[in-house]
Every structure is written in structure tokens, then in C-alpha cells.
Amino acid sequence: MKLLVTGGLGFIGSNFILYILKNYPTYEIINIDDEISGSNHLSLKDIQNNKNYTFVKGNITDYNLMEKLISKCDLIVNFAAESHVDRSIANARPFIDSNIMGTFTILELLKNYKSKRLIQISTDEVFGDLKSGSATEDFKLNPSSPYSSSKASAELLVNSYIITYGINAIITRCTNNYGPRQHPEKLIPKIIILADQNKKIPIYNNGNGVRDWIHVEEHCKAISKILHNGVSGEYYNISAKNELNVLTIVQKILSIMKKPSDGYVFAENRPGHDDRYSLNSSKLQDSLGWKPHIEFEKGLEETVSWYLNNKKWWSNFDLTFMDSYQWKT
């Protein structure tokens, strides 16, 4: 099988590529990435000479380039996206360009390649703030930020191309990922890096915001299961049912790192802040037999260890945003 992975230098994309080449060594992967803020070539340095891996610098809105790449592949996994909520509030345009127009470019091309399958990677944030319960695949879309709105828009585009043009596509939505190779602006690596530098950790909403956490490896396993066995036209939620508030996450990491338990400060809330996300993944577990196995405590300890042992990886990023306790980056 030949896979086209978009955004493969990012967090989940790079972990997915490593997972596939490890578990399916005969598969071939083309990775297209525009080398924007979340990209890091060090994430895939171990496979740079793998004969089954090819890197292409480019943007998924480039129609001619994407046509050339899609024509060579059997399946497309679309990770490419601007994904940081704060950045989308400060400037929404890159999110519209990448998350909506990039997906549109892929869909337009797939009208001519209906045998090729698209796995559209989405997010639990499309459902917005849930006061109670967990969203199933058919919950109402209710995005709160420009980021989540752009991902919801991409979902609607994919759905319309499935219905109108009969393209072969599946949409997945996942909860908050954690693990190695995640951009330092995201919560868990930001906590680890600031704690390592003995700096205070800024927390929104007095630390009450609840997120459902899943190790990135579990997410990659789920995507692999879906791309091999998923039903075209379906949606699949992916979650591990580790709902914890932000303050608890901060305290756990400070404890693992043996740092003072008061090493944080409550910061100004960003506009449109969602208090809680939660997904019901029973459909995926019952129909395709996927189940998460990594215990959160163990996964978190291993993640802390990875960041402390791979400072060269994250030191490549611009970390000036770390010094601000305001919502803007």
C-alpha cells in the first residue's frame, strides 16, 4: 500500500508515520509538509534513509502538486492543519487556508480518484463545550473557536463530497493527544518545559477545564485500524476516557518532576474558552475492535522523560511565547 500523509512533520503525523513503517514495513509513505511552525524534521530523523519513505516540501492547497502526489498513492491521511486555538483567535486566516482550503483541494482531486480512500483527521473540539455526557458521532457540531470552526467546516465539506460525488472518505475525531514530539505550545509539553526551567506555569479558567487525554500511539493505532477496516462514509470517535482537569495535569507533572507543587499561576482566560470536551468511542471499539491500553499515569511519566531527554528536539522551536501569562501568543 502507498500512503500520502499530509502534515507528517507535525506531532500526530510524525508519530503515525513511525507507527506505520514499524508495523507495516512493506508500505510506502510520501510525507508532504510545508515546514510551518509545528513541523520538525528531527521527529523523523530515524527514517530519513528508509527506502519506503519520501519527504516532499509543499502546501496541500497546491493543486498541481497534490494531483501529482495523489495519483501515486492508494490512500491519503490528512493530518495537515493549523491546530492551536490561541493562534486561531489571534489570526484566523491561516486556519481557513490550511484546514478548509487544503481539505477542499484534496476533495476536488478525489472526484477523479474515487477508488482512493481519504482519512480526514478531525477533533473533539467540533462539538464545543459539553457540560455533561460524551459526544457520539452524530452529535450536533457546535464549535467555539476559529480553529474548531475550520475543522468542522472541513468535516462538512468531506461529508458533502461523499454524498454528492461518491468519494471514498472517512472522518475521525480524537480527544486531546499527549506523548513525544508534540509542539511546546501545547499544554503538556509546555508544562514540562516551563517546570524544567523553574518558571511558573500559566493556567486558564483556574485549572477547571476538563480534557479527555489519549496517548498519541493509541491514536495512531486507531487510525491504522480505521484505514484498513473502516467503512467508507462513516465517522469514528477516538477516546481513552481519561478526563482530567488542567490543574490535575499540572500537579501530576510537577510531582513526577519533583518540582514545588505551587509552581503555577492562574492566567487570563482566552475568549470563547471551552470548559469540557468528551467523546464516546463505543462505535469504534464495538465495530472495529480497537481499545486503548496505555495507562495514563505510565504514559505521562514516559512523556515527561522523553521531553527531558530530548531537549535538542524542542529547543529548535521559538519559545518566546512561554514568557507570557496572557492568552495571546
Catalytic site residues? Answer: 124-125, 147
Longest dimension (CA), the chain: 58
Asked whether 257 and 195 are in contact (CB, 8 A), the reply is yes
Nearest alpha carbon to residue 56 among 12, 8, 117: 8
**Cα–Cα distance, 93 to 192 (Å, whole number):** 30
The four Cα atoms 231, 149, 279, 195 give a dihedral, to 10 degrees, of: 120
Helix (H) or strand (E) holding 194: helix 187-196
**Cα–Cα distance, 178 to 199 (Å, whole number):** 21
Q: Which residues contact 22 (CB under 8 A, 6 or more apart)?
A: none
**Cα–Cα distance, 52 to 2 (Å, whole number):** 9
**Cα–Cα distance, 76 to 162 (Å, whole number):** 15
- Give the Å distances, CA to CA, from 304 to 192, 249, 307, 328: 6, 12, 5, 25
How do beta strands 210-215 and 243-245 pair?
A: antiparallel
**Cα–Cα distance, 203 to 325 (Å, whole number):** 8
Measured at the alpha carbon of residue 319, what is the angle toward residues 11 and 316, in degrees to the nearest 5? 60
Which DSSP category does 213 fall into?
Answer: E
**Cα–Cα distance, 239 to 172 (Å, whole number):** 11
